[in-house]
Amino acid sequence: MKRKRVVVLGATGSIGENAAKVARDIPERVEIVGIAANSKARELATQANELRPGAVCIVDEAKLDELRTTLNYKPQIFCGEAGLREIASQVASDIVLIAIVGTGGLRPALAAIEAGKDLAVASKEILVMAGEIVMREAREKGVHVLPVDSEHNAIFQCLEGRLSQPSKHRTSNIEHRTSNAESASPAWRSAFDVQRSVFDVSDVRRIILTASGGPFRETPADQFSNITVEQALKHPTWNMGPKITIDSATLFNKGLEMIEAHWLFDVKMAQVEVVIHPQSIVHSMVEFADGSVLAQLSYSNMCFPIQYAITWPDRVPNSLPPLDFGKLGELKFAQPRYTDFPALNLARRAGETGGTLPAVLNAANEVAVSSFLEKGMRFPQIWQTVERVMNAHESIAHPGLDEILQADQWARAEAVRHVKSLKG
């Protein structure tokens, strides 16, 4: 079987490091041909020296010399924001894994789509901010947008698992794509683009995202103001970067995932729900019109969804541990505490309103989380800041990319002003 050629943007983060693990585990099926990082030049070079990709990119141009002197071979080197777009679009690859935290992955993602590359998306902000644009561009270019988040990857597997025949919708995309993939197997062609509604999802009643609940799922709300940064960074299940870990504690991470699911799977926001599942074994579920529910289960290890996104439509044996149901004990589920964790309702409001409001929610949350990590605000003030900025925004329907980026910048400035007022 042909190896998938992968470019990893955000190679030194947790997703990027797990992608490297996948490549080491199944080298006969995955080849990392390009890696990029923001500023961690030494870590990027160490990874490059091991994986030997043909292309390397450092966004922080001040770190370019450090990168060059630490590399022990001579790959093609890109740098700067332009370099990020270039490595995503110009390097010969089959799929680009977007694992950049925040909004920095949006332009490289669009550049990759324009170049006809499939996307594996771990940066949910891309679809939260510009889901309408990204999915439209993907349809027009006939490329796949494959989810890496464990929850969306689980939904993808559940939808794919219950469908054996594609609908007649957008068959032109299949014809367009097969011109670039003549050797694709029948399974590949029959599994085309769940996220682009090639499959009929009219019999889907609910998409149910599971959430661990974070470290404070049982903490009384009257104690939230006393939560420290150190406490919030102790996630009970996953090992993630600080921003995503705080988002998990506030449940903004799950709110963003609700909007992401809306765009990925072409369902209404009202069809997307959240359930608390502390064990993080059931990664998400899909309920169908007849009341049947399909779920995807595995241990909490991001290598599972990363591998499936990269190797799809194939399932490839690996060294990851299988579930031992005898040792699992019990799986528990509970409703979220919507009043105590307003992030979910704020995200639902943003997703239902659409336009530029999701970008505003995302930008305000990034500023608020950064302030909390710097001990500039209390834990509840994260969602209070987001709500204040959302309330001050007049959403623009069906925005273009420039309007989305302008709304993003406006929201950041508005959030910064609010943060300063808290210190006054």
Q: What is the pLDDT of residue 180?
A: 41
Residue 415 has pLDDT above 70, yes or no: yes
Chain-wide mean pLDDT for the chain? 90
Q: Output the CA–CA distances (angstroms, integers) from residue 408 to 37, 131, 320, 366, in the order listed.
A: 22, 14, 39, 10
SS3 418: helix
Residue 173 has pLDDT above 60, yes or no: no
Cis peptide before 399 (omega within 30 of 0): no
Q: Which fold has domain 4-147?
A: Rossmann fold (3.40.50)
351, 358 contact by CB (below 8 A): yes
Q: What is the pLDDT of residue 7?
A: 98
Q: What is the mean pLDDT of residues 124-148?
A: 95
Alpha carbons 305 and 320: distance in angstroms, whole number:
12
Q: What is the mean pLDDT of residues 318-344?
A: 95
Q: What is the pLDDT of residue 175?
A: 40
pLDDT (tens digit per residue) in 199-223: 568 899 999 999 999 999 999 999 9
Q: At what angle do helices 242-250 and 357-373 cross, to 10 degrees?
A: 110
The CATH number of domain 354-424, selected from 1.10.1740.10, 3.40.50.970, 3.20.20.140, 1.10.10.10: 1.10.1740.10
Residue with tokens 């043909």: 54
What is the domain partition of the chain in residue ranges? 4-147, 201-299+319-351, 354-424
Residue 189 has pLDDT above 60, yes or no: no
* Helix (H), strand (E) at residue 264: helix 252-264
Q: What is the pLDDT of residue 265?
A: 95
